[in-house]
Amino acid sequence: MTKILLIEDEKNIQISITYYLQKEGFKINSATNVEEARKKLEKEMYNLILLDVTLPDGNGFDLYKEVIKNKNIPVIFLTALDEEKT
């Protein structure tokens, strides 16, 4: 079974994504912030990470660079931001 770590702080988004992916047969673990995600990544292996860019205690891009990048786990970045900053 494919295990996915969903790192998302917005509860409604987290519930919706979890519901639809579980319905398709995926096993979903969730984290709502960087600290919680780090702990879950230390304990378990995942086939995919869905990673929110803006988290309450940090930045998804930083979490990727510091922890996830070297684990060779595919990552899909999520964001609800509607404008690009340069």
The domain limits of the chain are 1-23+36-54+68-79
pLDDT tens series, the chain, 86 aa: 799 999 999 999 999 999 999 999 999 999 999 999 999 999 999 999 999 999 999 999 999 999 999 999 999 999 876 666 65
The answer to whether 50 and 17 have CB atoms below 8 angstroms apart is yes
The pTM of this model reads 0.90
**Contact call for residues 62 and 49 (beta carbons, < 8 A):** no
At residue 64, φ and ψ (nearest 5 deg) are -60, -50
Which has the closest alpha carbon to 63: 22, 11, 9? 9
